Structure 1
Amino acid sequence: MRVAVLCGGESSERDVSRSSGWAVAQALAGRGHDVVLIDPAAEQPVLADPVPSGDTVVPVPKEPPVPADRALLRQRMYAALTDGPVLDLMRRADRVFIALHGGWGEDGHVQALLELAGIPFTGAGHDVCAVAWHKGRAQAVLEAAGIPVPARVLYTPPDAPGEVKQLLANGPVVVKPVAEGSSVAVRKVDSPEELPADGAELLVEPFLGGREFTVGVIGTAALPVVEIELTTAVFDYEAKYQPGAVREICPADITAEFAERLQDLALRAHRALGFGTTYSRADFRCDDAGTPYCLEVNALPGLTPGSLVPVAARGAGIAYDELVEKLLKA
């Protein structure tokens, strides 16, 4: 197949996405596909054409890109995806493999543009992505489907409503952007004075002190459960992408019954949000009693070889290049 891999983009996960994109593109090239790698937000968007097979590792910096660059990146990205050589390359491809994470790549913008242009692509459609990307909307859908989710309050700083203060009165909370990925700007808060003074809409939920797990789903099959063993209070950006910051254990050291329970919840979440035959990754955190709650469902989870879905795939005996092939055809 002729495959155009999209990576990079305008989001705070731009660096992670470029790492995913190179890994995906090289794996597909190694399996005989003709691959072009594109970062539509870059000044020179075509990174490689054709992409050689190999195992070049693109490291992820400790800090996400600075927000001040986002406006320029968005201008470049929109221009590239709607006209000119990048659009021509995507039209000539048999399929676009979306290795973007966060921002326009995961909130449905890119999917909508590709749908309008009649270009086939990997992953869920724009409508599913839009709901999954907004944690408040996604949790409302999951809750309606009977999937346990934490209590939550949405608000925009600086004025925290009384419900936030009530949550804090019962113990520490986790505060995160309602639409952001890779745990960017996630923080544990112990008092009202520590709440953010500015920024976009936030989601506040009780801090759950138990174990953390994640389950990848491809179509109708759940991958083995991965446990994330933290050295920090929350699984933040630095912990996710710096070697040795956390332990990712697959298969998780849990009973078969509990593993089946988590996999069933992940499959139900996948179906409730409309992912169908595509792929997703559901994240869970347990309370002190061991009850799991679904925190979010990722429409375009990380695909670096060390990311959680590839780790889970290895636990199922699926090599990285085989996983990428599955996602290409899902």
Structure 2
Amino acid sequence: MGQDKLKVGLVYGGKSGEHEVSLSTAFAVMNAFDFDKYELIPFYISKQGSWRIGSTLNAPFTQQEDLKLVDGEDTQSALNAVFSRLYGQEKPTVDIMFPLLHGTYGEDGTIQGLFEMADIPYVGTGVLTSAAGMDKVVMKKLFAEAGLPQCEYSYFNRSQWNRSEHELLQQIEHKLGYPSFVKPANLGSSVGISKAKNRGQLREAIQTALRFDDKIIVEEFVDAREVEVSVLGSDEPMASVPGEIVSSSEYYDYAAKYTDGQSQMQIPADIDPDTADQLRELAITAFRAIEGDGITRADFFFRRSDGKILINEVNTMPGFTPFSMYPLLWRETGVSYRELLDRMIELGLERYNRKHALLYENQV
């Protein structure tokens, strides 16, 4: 059967601030793969953006550090392997690419565009969905168009801030009040997020966020439970049971998500069945609002004062680390980690085949 194994290119690392998270995800995914069905080819992208391709694997690495030490060839060799279909190789080097890159250059549509240009199937959401899911402002506009309830927010870019700092601070205070949350518009995993309780903290939080992005979003504080739903599919997506995050810190920041292991996940969430069904329906609405295809995790606020459900955001490349909600929700729903990986690969191949059935020039 060895000859019939699907060759999967596992792409990890990357230039974003979430490089280490990507390594954790890649190591967890690699150890969950069924090596009777797949061969893995590791593609490591350094923090500087250079690529390395390793030898074909028929078993996972034993240590996470080995992911960085692929006895690899240089960027040119790695990209030659990615673009092998365009070079006319009879059998492509890789059958499908599996990007496990979090944040900038990974889940923002850029690597997806590279794979589209290389004419190679890939796992996860496409270019448009990835880009829309990464930009919190664009995402919120699409949610509004779909009629999804969400919290109040303001946004602006660096030049507007430099030109009209005082006016923007006044507008934010008038519209959102305190406390409020300041976020880079295009960064995942809660990097660069601050909570502001007064004008001094708000100004400082904006300066911090501007270190990570040129566009900033400020959101009103919502006293709420944080509930998440995993979505999987394309035209007929499925939603998992909801799970709840009980954060170890004042809010669900980077350390709470990935490093301290102290945040509690309650799966399934302790909510009534009707609310759970509503959350699953809203998660699918959010998935469709950004033209989802593959996977997303939808994050909601369940407001304590009146029980209203507000969409917070969707994540198109949720983590697969041991602390990650996405696979744990599916496990509770009856889909194992390994089955999940199988389905994600199937969806990537199905999308590739659908696109190849389309006409790209006037052939009639």
Relative to the length of structure 1, the TM-score reads 0.86
Secondary structure of residue in 2 paired with 1:39: strand
State how far apart, in whole Å, the 1-side matches of 2:331 and 2:243 are. 11
Q: In 1, are the aligned partners of 2:182 and 2:219 still within 8 Å (CA)?
A: yes
Matched, 1:286 2:299: no
Distance 1:302 1:244, change over 3 A: closer
Taking the aligned partners of 1:57 and 1:291, their CA distance within structure 2 comes to: 45
SS in 2 for 1:274: coil
User: Retained in 2: the 8 A contact 1:173–1:207?
Assistant: yes
Listed as ranges, the matches of 1:22-101 within 5 Å are: 22-41=27-46, 45-46=52-53, 49-50=56-57, 52-53=59-60, 56=62, 58=64, 80=75, 83-88=76-81, 91=84, 92-101=93-102
Bigger shift: residues 24-33 or 282-291: 24-33
- Residue deviations 1:50-97 (CA, integer Å, cap 9, x gap): 15147x5749xxxxxxxxxxxxxxxxxxx93xx433431564111001
Q: List per-residue Cα deviations over 1:129-155 (Å, max 9, x = no partner).
A: 111110000000011101111111012
CA contact (8 A) 2:14 2:45 kept: yes
User: Is residue 123–residue 344 contact of structure 2 (8 Å, CA) maintained in 1?
Assistant: yes
Q: Is the 8 A contact 2:43 2:78 kept in 1?
A: no
Q: Cα gap change, 1:117/1:256 in structure 2, threshold over 3 Å: closer, same or farther? A: same
Letter in 2 for 1:215: V
Contact 1:90 1:96 in 2 (8 A): no
Which among 139, 164, 185 is matched to residue 178 of structure 1?
185
Deviation at 1:163, TM superposition (A): 2.1
Does 2:198 correspond to 1:205?
no
**Deviation, structure 1 residue 10:** 0.7
**Separation (CA, whole Å) in 2 of partners of 1:262 and 1:163:** 32
Unaligned 5+ segments in structure 1 are: 60-78
- Give the structure, 1 or 2, with the largest relative contact order (CA under 8 Å, sep 6 or more): 1
- Cα root mean square deviation, aligned: 2.1
In the TM superposition, residue 128 of structure 1 has moved relative to its aligned partner by 1.4
Alpha-carbon distance in 1 for matches of 2:261, 2:297: 22
Letter in 1 for 2:291: G
In the alignment, the residues of structure 2 paired with residue 90 and residue 263 of structure 1 have an alpha-carbon distance, to the nearest angstrom, of 38
- Asked whether the 8 Å contact 2:82–2:120 carries over to 1, the reply is no
> Contact (CA 8 Å) 1:153, 1:205: kept in 2 or not?
yes
Deviating beyond 6 angstroms after TM superposition, the runs of 4 or more aligned structure 1 residues are: none
2:26 alignment partner AA: G
Aligned ranges for residues 176-325 of structure 1 at < 5 Å?
176-195=183-202, 196-197=206-207, 199=210, 200-219=214-233, 220-276=237-293, 278-289=294-305, 290-325=307-342
Shift of 1:45: 2.1
The amino acid that maps onto 1:286 is F
Q: Distance in 1 between matches of 2:285 and 2:154?
A: 24
What is the number of residues matched between the two proteins?
306
Asked whether the 8 Å contact 1:96–1:120 carries over to 2, the reply is yes
- Secondary structure of 1:122's aligned partner: coil
